Amino acid sequence: MAYIISTGVKEAEYSYTQEEVSRLVPELFTMKQSEINRLMPIFENSQIERRQFAEKLNWFTLDHGLEERNRTYMEKAVAYAKEAVSSCLHHPSFTVRPNEVDHIFFVSSTGIATPTVDTFIINDLGFNDSIRRTPLFGLGCAGGTSGIARAYEWLKGNPDQTALVVCVELCSLTFQMKDSRVSNFVGSALFGDGASAVLLAGEHSSLLERTSAAVRLDQSSSKMKKESIDVMGWKVVDSGFEVIFNKSIPRLVKSFWGEHMRESLEQKQWEASDLSFIVAHPGGRKVLEAYDNTLGSDKPLLAYSEKVLRSHGNMSSPTVHFVLHEAMKQRQDKGTKSMMTSLGPGFSSEIISLEWA
């Protein structure tokens, strides 16, 4: 057993409405106007109102190589991650010193760094030099839930310890102006940038004495659909990362994810009707609709996910932490039940049980 006791989030600094971004489309894509007109409803029907980017809009109208993109990734990723971590450790009702954190799990899939970004956080914010580090790369949108699952599993074996999960993704920096595939068009309509941090404590950690509200974790589950590596991910090319999206994703939510969620509920001896809401990664409007249709509940289970999608778009791994952040701000009643879930490359699903304690 382990507990989530604090969250912190950081938006990228340049914020634009979806309408502002869509007006740039004719300048960005080398497609026939008829093809652009056919695809524009992807922007219009996304249910995204605003997104945040690491660079101003005119950056996307110019060519950028992998080296330049990655240099910007390193600069912004370190800055955003540090702000998310600082926000997480300075909770409104208590403060945790960096030297009280025993393990950092760092999650990112939109840039390359050796040493990884967590080393810069450790140096700059004053963490112990003996802190354990687990960088996780390539998990994509599943990374936010996967990172918490790995931290929870470590804390089960180290119940008096603490763990910090940090996610940072700069999806916008991967945009490829010369890529005329529909996947790139979809990505340009969905992706945003951001960072997040989640602090977890083992069941015997002294940090639990400082908080009157915590979220208990006591089950995590991973599932991968074999022979589905072409569903989502990145293709590395000379100019950077090209996004991979398959139109089968909403269908896989109903079949593959639906089965995984039923298995997870049965293991907990819960019913879907027991859930007050779902802390679900909002991959896009169609993904949220597929979640909703699969669960078939009368409750507005995805209200927090819908709010984050409207305000930030899909930021990949940090997005589910933004949803968790919204849920924890509301100070849920003791005993409130939920599931955290994300889908990612592989094709994979991660689910963790949550209960407000």
The catalytic residues are 141
Cβ–Cβ < 8 Å for 343, 168? no
SS3 of residue 315 by DSSP: coil
Handedness of CA 173, 133, 211, 350 (dihedral sign): positive
How many other β-carbons are positioned within 10 Å of the β-carbon of residue 93?
A: 9
What distance in Å separates the CA atoms of residue 7 and residue 292, rounded to the nearest whole number?
A: 26
- Type and span of the H or E element at 143: helix 143-157
What distance in Å separates the CA atoms of residue 72 and residue 90, rounded to the nearest whole number?
A: 27
What distance in Å separates the CA atoms of residue 86 and residue 34, rounded to the nearest whole number?
A: 48
- Type and span of the H or E element at 62: none
How many other β-carbons are positioned within 10 Å of the β-carbon of residue 153?
A: 13
How many other β-carbons are positioned within 10 Å of the β-carbon of residue 68?
A: 14
SS3 of residue 160 by DSSP: coil
98 upstream amide cis, omega within 30 of 0 = no
> What is the separation of C-alpha 197 from the centre of its chain, rounded to a whole number of angstroms?
10
